[in-house]
Chain A
């Protein structure tokens, strides 16, 4: 079997698995976020937290709860890293430097998991498992909760009640993320992912050299890193590391986990608004963009355009033998189509166009299928914009799933959309204007790509890197930390405000003048709007970077 055939089968098997699972899993997610009966453990959690699970929250209260939880998490994580040398299992590592601790605290709380540091030489086991990995769970739950709150805004009417953040957070964590993680971690351990508290085993190699086989509670963190679309590796090499991703089938499983929740959430949307077909339309938009991107990334990498790949005979620099070119390219597409940012190969050494694809995926706003929760709310925002644009073109009243899209709604949607391009482009410009871009490893257009990639990744809360650039400086850590913070919470505030505004409306029954939003025509229009918005925003920057390099 040729590598290309095997690679196509690999992609097809993922598609089949996701199609098979999205319905039961989405239904389970729906029951979790809609149920009103609480288990004994959950009631215990509510008592400990001191909240009334039956109290509904208006959008402002919901948003303040999200922000309070995230603010406390950032402070906690910052302190944790600064004090790690006084705690158990620190492996003798120093406290993390202040600008680095700030960056990492923000990075993990915002579901970005951008990493300026090398895990195996910076973070002790306790910080990894009780600090960073906890945020892998709860930041994912926050994303899903916000998406569900927006969907409730569409489904409910004449109310301020968007649900209760603490209940959503608890139920999503305990009923979805934790059980899947336990199963996934056991599977990964069976494949060879380590799970121990060892500080490392010193060995003497066959030729007499010293080597330290590192340890750590990796499996438990690895699984939620993918499932929660977080992406922060236990080790510097992330999912390329044999202890994080030892075999071809663990690689398949990790990609599946990355895509599982994002592709199941449209089902939840369809069920909550009471029209499955609306959910399918959203899933179709995601699938069209995702399949196109995975295919293109594979084509570019397998073609191996560029001087070094031509000299080598394949685009194999930065890739592992066990994954080869195609499975690496598929992982790269999946990790950037979602907000994961884990890598099983190093994008910096990809061909010019192959390396451009992850960048473009992130620039799409990570909506195909996007991060857990963030992908769904991002796509619903794009759907709202599409309804508005379409309404303007044909003179129909903009409506989406029974709600009018008025000036207030479109303002929130536009503001949402403008946040990341503003952060990416001003950040990149600032890096060059202040001379901080000089830390890029590669020269010329590739260096620009490295800087652009860093800001795109941070502002979209992806966290993957064109890793050549040196970002362990106060300027970079501060700037990227700000981008991650604003890129996460400004959109969340706009989404919740939009949800509040939708929930207050009376439902608008569909009429002759309503644009059907479940047909292929609408799917095509959302795809078009997404691509055109991105092209208009980022094409000049892409032209100076990867396009200049590849042409």
Chain B
């Protein structure tokens, strides 16, 4: 009996798929898993696990939060970048923030639990907190002194044009004091939670302020990475943390700085990627060299 052509073709398709599934879906990956047992490949294939004191404490490629149970930084450790993976550095829930470059207006709900912070406010808050923790200037352009985005909602008489009638500092709810007192002669009011000023017709104006263009807190310290698992910080971010870590451990800052240098990788071949400090490996080395007081 001859099968109809269309059926024969689908049968051939099914057989082809099964052949390729066995070949490419089983033989190929399993052979690679076997190759991953070879010395030289095994450590990487297993996840570059790092042990300390006889137990596995993480992976050299996966970052960790060095915070206490309440999420506050543990000062004797170098701190990682902010992370959007789960509650921070959760490998079962890798993610970026996905907030855009003009995410600058917070949603201030009547119930603070329902408020959401814009990316700008997150950046400003992190910068301020790190500035305090590490004793450096935490100011940034477009940030208020109390660590939110310096953004005004400006109402004009005729919508987009005409004289200014009312100005709101949209990310600062009362009792906060607006970061400027007047704008084009009009007094600035704090935002009222639960009110959508953009929908009400406000023109959104970010205000740069007088912060230095190159803030003391480096860029990687105030931004979340793409994976949420970034194992590195920039050498600049490590540098501003040296004094604090040395003080907490009663160590010589120069010795801590040498340890940072030992865990800094430069650009591969001199031009690939960017220099980075592996935070977990650095902190492990610190624990070995300078036990915390």
Q: Footprint of B on A, CB under 8 Å?
A: 1, 3, 5-6, 9-10, 13, 45, 48-51, 64-65, 68-69, 71-73, 76, 118, 120-121, 129-131, 133-134, 137-138, 166, 169-170, 173, 178, 181-182, 185-186, 189-198, 200-201, 203-207, 209, 211-215, 217, 219-221, 235-237, 240-243, 246-249, 251-252, 305-324, 327-328, 343-346, 348-352, 355, 441-446, 449, 466-468, 549
* Selected A-B contacts with CB under 8 Å, 30 pairs: A6-B273, A120-B93, A130-B21, A189-B41, A193-B44, A195-B33, A196-B36, A196-B46, A200-B91, A201-B49, A205-B64, A207-B74, A220-B28, A220-B32, A236-B95, A237-B94, A307-B142, A310-B142, A318-B226, A319-B226, A321-B225, A321-B230, A328-B226, A343-B226, A344-B226, A346-B226, A350-B101, A442-B100, A467-B98, A468-B98
Asked if B68 CB lies within 8 Å of chain A CBs, one says: yes
Given known A207-B67, A236-B95, contact A322–B32 (CB-CB < 8 A): no
Q: A118-B93, A316-B223, A318-B97 are in contact. List 18 more A-B contacts (CB 8 A).
A: A13-B271, A68-B9, A185-B32, A189-B45, A195-B33, A196-B36, A203-B56, A204-B55, A207-B77, A235-B227, A237-B96, A247-B268, A308-B100, A318-B98, A318-B224, A319-B223, A327-B273, A346-B96
Does the CB pair B28–A182 fall under 8 Å? yes
Closest to A44 in B: B19
Asked if B10 CB lies within 8 Å of chain A CBs, one says: yes
Q: Number of B interface residues, CB 8 Å?
A: 112
In the complex, how many residue pairs between chain A and chain B have their CB atoms under 8 Å apart?
A: 390
Does the CB pair B13–A251 fall under 8 Å? no
Given known A211-B90, A320-B230, A467-B98, contact A252–B272 (CB-CB < 8 A): yes
Q: Which 3 A-B pairs have the closest CB atoms?
A: A248-B273, A240-B226, A130-B25
Q: How far is the CB of A536 from chain B (nearest CB, A)?
A: 27
Closest to A319 in B: B226
Asked if B62 CB lies within 8 Å of chain A CBs, one says: yes
Which residues from B are CB-within-8-Å of A13?
271
Q: CA of A203 to CA of B49 in the docked complex: distance in angstroms? A: 10
Does the CB pair B102–A307 fall under 8 Å? yes
Given known A214-B91, A237-B226, A242-B231, contact A446–B81 (CB-CB < 8 A): no
Q: How far is the CB of A111 from chain B (nearest CB, A)?
A: 15
Q: How far is the CB of B151 from chain A (nearest CB, A)?
A: 8
Does the CB pair B120–A308 fall under 8 Å? yes
Closest to A345 in B: B226
Which residues from A are CB-within-8-Å of B66?
206-207
Which residues from A are CB-within-8-Å of B6?
64, 68
Asked if B1 CB lies within 8 Å of chain A CBs, one says: no
Which residues from A are CB-within-8-Å of B55?
203-204
Q: CA of A366 to CA of B192 in the docked complex: distance in angstroms? A: 48
Which residues from B are CB-within-8-Å of A50?
8, 11-12, 15
Given known A118-B94, A241-B94, contact A308–B273 (CB-CB < 8 A): no
Interface flags for B40-57 (1: CB within 8 Å of A; 0: not) read 110011111100100111
Does the CB pair B12–A49 fall under 8 Å? yes
Closest to A127 in B: B25
Q: How far is the CB of A430 from chain B (nearest CB, A)?
A: 23
Asked if B222 CB lies within 8 Å of chain A CBs, one says: yes
Closest to B206 in A: A307
